[in-house]
Amino acid sequence: MKKSSYKKNIIKQLYFAQSLSCAEISEKIDKSLPLTTKVVNELMDEDFIIENGYAPSSGGRRPLTYSLKRDVLYIVAVAMDQFYTRIAIIDMQNQYVTRVEKFDLVLLKNPEVLMALVDKINNHITSSGLPKNKIVGIGVGMPGFIDAGKGVNYTFLDAPYGNIPSYIAEKTGLEVFIDNDSSLVALAELRFGAAQHTTNAMVVNIGWGVGLGLILEGKLFRGYNGFAGEFSHIPVFSNNKLCSCGKKGCLETESSLSIIVEKARQGLDAGQVSMLANLLVDVNTENAFEEIIRAAQKGDQFAVGLFSEAGYNIGRGVAILIHILNPEIIIFSGRGSRAGRIWKAPVQQAINEMCIPRLAASTEIEISQLGYEAEMIGAAALVMENYETKTIPNSVPVEMPTAFYAQNN
């Protein structure tokens, strides 16, 4: 293996761990300590790595730890849902160096999606003022049936030619990686969130649908074609409601954020008393959801009840998966996780009612601390997972105006 490969592997390990000693790096890259120390010193000379102080004492001599400089490499993170897309540039400490740009981009029956996305990405990079050779790549999370290996989204996006990553790469001049949004949410939780120290976890991505990321034996499980985790489309209900997938009675038809907004409007039309009043009548789904979650956080009974009903229905689906996968932890992440602990009680109630107690006894329910940022962080992590295939650019720290640093974490 060439020394450049060692360097890239060390950068990758430090990105995910944030801080490591030479001995820890040596173990992770499976190389001798003398070689590891030599390469680390070279990366310090090249201005990629800095000393990070001594690790806490464990009884012996405290080892010196290292971390990546935040301003030598960057990642473009793109998080898409069915209606809106977010773009930002992230540094090696997972901090935003540009403000998150959010814009309307409806995916369904929109042949212009990919061209519009490319324009937004290029404009965002240009306006950042960052040299393109300091950008490692572009990570894109999107809903739909995605075969990441083939670079195809069978549900929403068609490339005019080639596949999605190759098309975006040609138009931007950067390497591109795509994956399902729920898989990237799970990747973020695995690398930086509530699943870091677990081996078997289910990450429920609550959005306009209800996605699922699976972590099995400490690794993200995507399935044979990358389609694992289509939680929304488990047929749970006999409600005769048509789902977006074309089937009836799917979990999504009684539990997604879209359904919460729909039921809120129905309740208000029927005279339901709530601080929401008639605020939902003339606003779009995005703004309506924001109104509902603010009301729930203030204790509005009607709003809390909407989340409780959806949570119970999600719990019914989760109960099925507990019997199949026996997870250590279930993490509620994504946009909807902002409702916080409101989810816990109804989900647990459904599990209590529908699970064999022995199976459910050791399964914990956690609300993500990454929340709505999980997909963005996962998109960045996807790029860095593939970083060893890239050439390291010359390190020239970039002075960023203070205004560019929008600390959203």
Residue 383: pLDDT above 80? Answer: yes
Residue 59 or residue 194, greater confidence: 194
Domains, the chain: 3-68 (1.10.10.10), 74-184+373-404 (3.30.420.40), 195-369 (3.30.420.40)
What pLDDT was estimated at residue 2? 65
Residue 61: pLDDT above 80? Answer: no
Residue 224: pLDDT above 60? Answer: yes
Tokens of 374: 């999980």
Residue 396: pLDDT above 50? Answer: no
Type of residue numbered 302: F
- In the predicted model, what is the mean pLDDT of residues 349-374? 93
| Cα–Cα distance for residue pair 253/309, rounded to 1 Å | 12
Tokens of 317: 């689906």
What pLDDT was estimated at residue 397? 40
Q: Residue 394: which pLDDT band, with cuts at 50, 70 and 90?
A: very low
Query: How does pLDDT run across 136-186, given as a tens digit for each residue?
Result: 999 999 998 899 989 999 988 888 888 999 999 999 999 999 999 999 999
For 40, what's the count of Cα atoms within 13 Å in the CB-facing half-sphere? 26
pTM: 0.89
| Cα–Cα distance for residue pair 156/110, rounded to 1 Å | 8
Closest among 329, 332, 273 to 301, alpha carbons compared:
273
Residue 79: pLDDT above 80? Answer: yes
Query: How does pLDDT run across 108-128, given as a tens digit for each residue?
Result: 888 899 999 999 999 999 999
What pLDDT was estimated at residue 159? 87
- Note every long-range contact of 249-256, with CB atoms under 8 Å and residues 24 or more positions apart, other chains counting: 251/210, 251/313, 251/314, 251/316, 251/317, 252/209, 252/210, 254/309, 254/310, 254/313, 255/210, 255/310, 255/311, 255/313, 255/314, 255/317, 256/206, 256/207, 256/208, 256/209, 256/210, 256/232, 256/310
- In the predicted model, what is the mean pLDDT of residues 34-43? 92
- Provide the percentage of residues in the chain whose pLDDT is more than 70: 92
| Cα–Cα distance for residue pair 16/94, rounded to 1 Å | 10
What is the β-pairing status of strands 101-104 and 84-91? antiparallel
Which distant-in-sequence residues (6+ apart) come within 8 Å of 180 by Cβ? 141, 142, 143, 144, 145, 146, 148, 211, 222, 226, 229
Residue 395: pLDDT above 70? Answer: no
What pLDDT was estimated at residue 130? 95
- In the predicted model, what is the mean pLDDT of residues 218-237? 87
Which residue, chain included where needed, has tokens 């729920």? 182
- In the predicted model, what is the mean pLDDT of residues 232-259? 88
What pLDDT was estimated at residue 96? 96
| Cα–Cα distance for residue pair 91/190, rounded to 1 Å | 19
For 262, what's the count of Cα atoms within 13 Å in the CB-facing half-sphere? 11
φ, ψ for residue 353, nearest 5 deg = -75, -30
Lowest mean pLDDT among 165-179, 264-278, 349-363: 264-278
Query: How does pLDDT run across 13-33, given as a tens digit for each residue?
Result: 999 999 999 999 999 999 999
Residue 392: pLDDT above 80? Answer: no
